[in-house]
Chain A
Amino acid sequence: MIDFIILMGTVVCFSAILALALNFQWGLGGMVNFGLAGFYALGAYSCALLMLKGGFNTFFATLGAMGIVALVCGLVALVTLRVTEEDYFAIVTLGVGEMLRLVALNEDWLTKGALGLTGIPRPLGELIPAPVYLYFMLALSLVLVAACVWVLGRLSRSPFGRVVRAVREDDVVAATLGKNVLWARVRIFAIGGALIGLAGSLHAFYFQYIDPTQFSTIVIAYAFMAVIAGGRGAHVGTVAGAAAVMLLLEGSRFAKELVPGLESDQLAAVRIIIIGIGLIMLLIYRPHGFMREYRLQVPLKDSLGQARSQPPKEAPT
């Protein structure tokens, strides 16, 4: 049982990194990435292929994957954001994500198509004996999650972060202030892409076998749920949100024992229905999730040490 918890913990970690990426792109940057599943596949396949065909070790393959996804995301942002309509951006990313998945499925000279890539090496897989490896993997994943949260936190608080938020709130004003809106958005999307590449690499290391079926569109729903539950823009909250979503998902498998009378395929449909309804309800009732962006947590006393009478109004989403 403990082993299972450790393994699930690792899955939570790379799902959390994926959610952090979406949080950065959408929560902070206001850019909806519906192609998340496709970029995730790109990250996993890049890492795996760099190792299997390129002979790189796990460290450089991960960096390579991060770079590749960041580059592709940056390009997509660059091409699409000539028009700033966020709605179009979503459909373009959806399309790109689909194309990436199709390439993974069809170009079997490269990706072995539907058969998938097996025997993917793991970081330090040779050095650490099998029984303790899962502890190492969990520790490594936790460290990486913490590192991502730290980096993103620093970015959010930095001048770049302020530009990002300004662009999200009102890009016309930001432009009039002389900020290069397009370039800021490209960078946001690319940084998010790097994180997606990292998550994909971890995914490849964990399962040691990747194939197109692992990157289906439902991944997007889970990521959005994690981000919304945790609070758009709040990094730690996103991680908690990812943990909650994953646990609910895996936990609902256990709950099956408690719900007789339904066929297995109906039960599976019900789980996804609950996820969808959960997503909608979160949007309606808890749009800020359970934690907030740091800047909205205002101290109860102002700078003169006097108590405020009321919390100030929140900014609109």
Chain B
Amino acid sequence: MLQTAFNGLVTGIIIALPSLAITLLFGVLKFPNFAVGAMMTVAAYMVYAVNVQLGWPLLPATAAVAVAFGLLCIAIDHVTFRPLRDRGGITLMVASLGLGFVLENVARFAYGNAARSFAIELARPFRFFDIRMNREQMTAMVVATLAMGLMYVLLTRMPVGRAMRAVADNPSLALVRGIDSASIIRWTWFITGVLLAVGGVLIGMDRALEPPMGTSYVIAVFSAAILGGLGSPLGAFVGALLIGLVSELATLVIPPNYRIGIPLCVIALVLIFRPQGIFGQMYIRR
């Protein structure tokens, strides 16, 4: 049972970064980005290209791609979402659905359907009390926690982060205060890109790389963000860990092939009992 709980933590860590990205995007840009899964897929393949085809070790490959992908996200936003900015969240959401299809199939176009892996050594586990864990999982935990820490610093201490929160809270007031919302949006997308690139690598380390890999996480990611409270970064992290834990622990009682239903139930319960999630705030959107 402890092992299952640990597995749940691992699963949760993997969805923590995309949940964070979703919650940031939602906070600043006010729409749920359904392309999040496909974006991670594309980023993961980009890392694959640098790691396997160019031969760089995984860490520098990830760093390089994270920056490149952040810039790519800015470009994607410019082409796809900016023209739709004033149309409202629903239109942006539908556009993100279309974008998801495009990105997943770009990956398929470039790399075909066969499953691949990064060029890293898979490690045998070591035992810590009664729990098996391995180096990759430890790396994932460290990376995700670091990312969270950095995000926290960014959002609370650095001007860019504070500006992002201002725009998220009240865009017109932020404008009055002289915050350039276009620049903030670009920063948001850049950070999103970095988060999703790292998230994609964590997924690619966990399981096979194939075109549909990211899309299978969409429901869990959204569930984590909603549970934690859309718009709250800490909530995204906590929500992700909780979703991971509950999903894995639930397999002790329900058949494992239905565990995708857990995030869904969580969403339903959250919406019924506490729609703002754990850390979010109720707000009226007008």
Contacts and interface: CB of A to CB of B under 8 A. Distances in A.
Interface of A: 26, 30, 32, 34, 79-80, 82-83, 85-88, 90-92, 94-96, 98-99, 102, 106, 217-218, 220-221, 224, 228, 265-266, 269-270, 272-273, 275-280, 283-284, 287, 317
Contact of B272 (A79, A96, A270, A283): A79
Contacts of B258: 102, 106
- Chain B's interface size range is 35 or more
B172 interface: no
Given A91-B32, A95-B219, A287 B87 contact: yes
A317 B258 CA distance: 38
Contacts of A221: 97-98, 101
A242 B84 CA distance: 23
B271 A99 contact: no
B261 A99 contact: yes
* Interface SS, B side: helix
Contact of B32 (A90, A276, A278): A90
Interface of B: 26, 31-32, 34, 80, 83-84, 87-91, 93-95, 97-102, 104-106, 108-109, 112-113, 215, 218-219, 222-223, 226, 255, 257-258, 260-261, 263-264, 267-268, 271-272, 275, 285
Contacts of A269: 105-106, 108-109
A283 B105 contact: no
A221 B105 CA distance: 14
A263 to B, nearest CB: 8
B98 A273 contact: no
Nearest to A284: B83
Contact of A106 (B80, B104, B257): B257
Contact of A92 (B97, B255, B268): B268
A277 B98 contact: yes
A221 B34 CA distance: 12
Contacts of B94: 32, 224, 228, 279, 283
A276 B90 contact: no
Contact of B97 (A220, A266, A273): A220
A90 B93 CA distance: 9
B138 to A, nearest CB: 32
24 contacts: A32-B94, A34-B97, A82-B272, A87-B26, A87-B32, A87-B90, A88-B275, A90-B34, A91-B32, A92-B267, A95-B223, A95-B263, A99-B264, A102-B258, A106-B255, A106-B258, A218-B101, A265-B113, A269-B108, A273-B101, A273-B102, A273-B106, A277-B102, A280-B98
